[in-house]
């Protein structure tokens, strides 16, 4: 598989994971929508915001550590491994999970920059597209790489 095909799979995986996280977050936050004077408003206690951020972190971290892939990566037939080929350790999974959770936290804490965050996230993940080896800043920081799921004969990496 070419580097471009791997990046298409990675993009698909991120879209699936983002959609699942959005649905899960919306399901939780939906309980805090209030209607006042015919207008809906979101009145979320800070503890729920923290739980949402922790939930995003756990959604990324636990499956990575357990099976080497988030649900989106499994669907895209990808897995994450250490650059040296070894299985992921907690440190690797935590560093990789930190980025999505941090993005949500920043958006919540600093609402002024919400409009800029998609560009920041795109830039973070776009580094994988620009790198010859397909490793983005998150991969480099975590000491990981994303590879095809074993048994998928259509690719070598």
Give the total residue count for the chain.
157
- Label the pairing between strands 144-148 and 39-42: unpaired
Assigned domain for 28 exists: yes
Reported confidence tier of residue 155, pLDDT bands at 50, 70, 90:
very low
Assigned domain for 155 exists: no
pTM of the model: 0.76
Q: Return all residues near 44 (Cβ < 8 A) that are at least 6 apart.
A: 29, 32
Q: What is the model's pLDDT at position 7?
A: 81
Reported confidence tier of residue 157, pLDDT bands at 50, 70, 90:
very low
DSSP conformational letter for 36: E
Residue 59 in contact with residue 106, Cβ under 8 Å? no
Q: Look up the domain containing 101 and give its range.
A: 3-147
What distance in Å separates the CA atoms of residue 98 and residue 103, rounded to the nearest whole number?
9
Assigned domain for 154 exists: no
Assigned domain for 58 exists: yes
């Amino acid at each position: 598989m070419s580097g471009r095909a791997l990046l298409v799979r990675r993009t698909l995986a991120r879209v699936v994971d983002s959609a699942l996280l959005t649905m899960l977050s919306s399901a939780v936050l939906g309980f805090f929508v209030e209607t006042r004077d015919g207008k809906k408003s979101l009145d979320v206690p800070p503890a729920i915001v923290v739980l949402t951020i922790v939930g995003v972190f756990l959604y990324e971290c636990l499956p990575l550590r357990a099976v080497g892939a988030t649900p989106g990566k499994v669907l895209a037939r990808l897995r994450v491994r250490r650059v040296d080929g070894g299985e992921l350790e907690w440190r690797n999974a935590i560093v990789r999970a930190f980025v999505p959770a941090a993005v949500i936290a920043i958006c919540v804490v600093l609402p002024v920059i919400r409009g800029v965050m998609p560009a920041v996230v795109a830039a973070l993940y776009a580094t994988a597209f620009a790198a010859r080896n397909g490793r983005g800043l998150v991969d480099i920081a975590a000491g990981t790489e994303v590879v095809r799921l074993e048994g998928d004969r259509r690719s070598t990496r």
